Structure 1
C-alpha cells in the first residue's frame, strides 16, 4: 500500500518522532503541510493527517490539506498531545466526512507539552512519545491502515 502522511510538527517535535518511526518501518512518505500544495494525492492508496493538538484541533494547515484529498480516498489521523481525548480533531473529521473519505482509524499518544502554565512546572508528558508509544503507533498503522488494504 502506498501511503503518505501530511503533517505539522512544531514545539518539541513529538508528532515528527512518531512519524519517523512509521516511515522507518513502513516506508510511508512524509510531507510537511506547508509544502503539500501541488502534491498529487490521487497517486496514494491512503493519506494520513498528523499534528499536535492545538485547542482540541489539528493544526489549521493540516486540516486545510484534508480539503484537497480526493473524495472517497481512505484517510487516517495521528496526533500527539499533553493529555489524550477522543474528542480531538472534530474539524478535520468533519472535512473528511463531507468528502466521503473513509476514516481508517485514529491514533493518539501523549507528547511533551510546555504550553502556557505547563512551562512553569517543566511541562507535562515529559519523555513522550516513548518507546511504548512508538510501538503502539506501529501496531496502529499495521492493523488499521495496512490491514484495511488486505
Structure 2
C-alpha cells in the first residue's frame, strides 16, 4: 500500500507530468468542476436526509453514472450497495444506468438549469427506471447550489 502511495506521490510531483498536460478549454473546465465538485455533494444530501434515503436505497445495488459522451475522464459514478453510497470518477462500462450528454456544452447547460431532452443521451435500453427513481431526488436536491435559489429554512 505504501508503495502505491509513493508511486502516486512521485507521479504527481513530477515536473514532466505537469508540463505534458495540455491546457483545458473552458467547457472542459466547467464539466470537470460539475462532475468532480458539484455532483459528489449528492453524498452530503444523502447523509443529511438519511432516513428518507435509507428507505429509498434499501436493497439497491448498482452504479449510476453521469458523463459526457466521448471522454471517459468526464464521468462521475454513484455506487450504491444496500443503502451505502460511494462516489468514483471515470466511466464504468457495467453501470446499471448511464446518463450521457452529447457534448460538454450540453452537460454544462443541463447542470446550469437548462433542461431539455435534446441534451441527454441514454446509451443503453432504458430498463433501469428503478435506478433513475432512486438517484433523481438527490440530483434535484442539488438545485440548492443555484445562486438564485435562496433556501427558506
TM-score computed with the length of structure 2 as normaliser: 0.33
Q: Judging by fraction of residues, say which structure has more helix.
A: 2
TM-score computed with the length of structure 1 as normaliser: 0.33
Q: Is the radius of gyration larger for structure 1 or structure 2?
A: 2
